[in-house]
Amino acid sequence: MDSVSWGGSEVLWSETALKLRQFGHEVSASVSRWRPRPSQHETLLQAGVRLNERWFPTSQPRPRVIFNPLVRRASPVFFTRWLKRQQPDLICCSHGSVGEDLTLIRICAQSGIPYCIVLQANAEYMWPGGQRARELADFYGRAKRVFFVSEGNRTLLETQTGFEFKNAEVVRNPFNVRRNAAPPWPTELNPVRLACVGRLEPGAKGQDLLLRALARDTWRSRPVAVSFFGKGWCEDNLRQLVRLLKMDGRVTFNGHVSDIESIWATHHALILPSRFEGLPLAIVEAMHCARPVIVTDVAGNAEIVQDGVTGFIAEAPTERHLHAALERAWEQRYNWEAMGKAAAQAIRELLPADPAAVFAQKLLAVSAESVSA
């Protein structure tokens, strides 16, 4: 990524890099340059991963020389030279979303070195047209593997490009709670506490849909409190919307919380009204913590959430559909504890205990195939 220094889409590749180092392999990583350097980059360095910091992202201050457009355009040249020096057996390109720049993937595809791609998110509004759709089909099609984090995103990209990715597999992201997490159930239902965990970016996470739905007269008389966990560039917008809707006493902003399990010791259910996704860590983590989830039917959400059993699924990311899902959830609120237990059992059956280790083995298998080919 180069929009922010760290996010959920960076977890799989970085955790897998650490696993490969533990297995004794040499690993190099090319990342955007940030100051201060993210702690996760420091962890990679300490583990012996060779780090290449490419260029300053456009969203942060850069040295004066970087403002020179000739230097900016030369950045892919520097990346190409670095790649040639590494001479890797396999390249893994982590693509935060299908809407990201294709320059680095183009360089990898043209290098002659076997490569694979991880796609973390896709959305209908990112629909590629013309030349970009052809390039996506070409670069993704030539990869040894394309790893999607949900079948929904794979199907959407095939629809967008008109190309069948026979080299596709689905992998899972690592999660930030213990496999056996069991925070106590907050039995007091007055108020019902909903946690919305995700970056404060309504265009993706749909927090505005939630606020609009709960601002309806039906909900104003109900004891419901919403806690936002996360940071983002739209925090001020959302705070202003809370004031506009006169919901100040029912909504709190809690910033980023590292201890995810602590959230679920005080909240009854996850609410995540996303407009697009890959497969949200917030859902996986809430289910591990035995909490039902209220989500929209985007990307891979319905692949792990069973409506009416482990959570509630809004048919579309709209205020009307979210309101309908919330109504069904409210009617079943006295069954939420049992639904949470069902969610905890289901997610442990659906996801591996160590997704990064599984992905590391997949990459090693792809590398071995390439050597023997």
Same fold yes or no, 8-174+354-372 and 192-350: yes
**Residues 225/229/233/235 CA torsion (nearest 10 deg):** 20
CATH no. for 8-174+354-372: 3.40.50.2000
Three-class SS state of 314: strand
Q: Return the pLDDT at 56.
A: 54
Q: Return the pLDDT at 272.
A: 98
Cβ–Cβ < 8 Å for 317, 298? yes
Q: Return the pLDDT at 60.
A: 47
Cβ–Cβ < 8 Å for 309, 338? no
Express each pLDDT in 46-64 by its tens digit. 999 999 988 755 444 444 4
Residue type, 332: Q
Q: Return the pLDDT at 3.
A: 73
* Main-chain phi, psi angles of 56, to 5 degrees: -75, 125
Q: How far apart are CA 294 and CA 322, in angstroms?
A: 9
Q: How far apart are CA 121 and CA 12, in angstroms?
A: 13
Count of C-beta atoms within a 10 Å radius of residue 77: 10
Among candidate residues 201, 253, 259, the one with its CA nearest the CA of residue 228: 253
Topology, domain 192-350 = Rossmann fold (3.40.50)
What is the b/e burial string over 269-305, where b = at least 16 CB atoms within 10 angstroms of the residue's CB?
bbbbbbbbbbbbbbbbbbbbbbbbbbbbbbbbbbebb
Among candidate residues 298, 342, 290, 286, the one with its CA nearest the CA of residue 322: 298
Q: Return the pLDDT at 282.
A: 96
Q: How far apart are CA 178 and CA 248, in angstroms?
A: 34
What are the E-state strand segments in 131-250? 145-148, 168-170, 192-197, 224-229
Q: Where are the domains of the chain?
A: 8-174+354-372, 192-350
- DSSP string for 199-215: -S-HHHH-HHHHHHHHT
- HEC letters along 236-256: HHHHHHHHHCCCCCCEEECCC
Q: Return the pLDDT at 315.
A: 97
Per the DSSP assignment, residues forming a β-bridge with 145 are 116
Divide the 373 residues of the chain into consecutive groups of 10 and give the mean pLDDT of each group: 81 97 96 90 97 68 44 70 94 92 92 96 90 95 96 95 96 95 91 96 97 96 96 96 96 96 98 95 97 96 97 97 98 97 98 97 94 75
Cβ–Cβ < 8 Å for 255, 229? yes
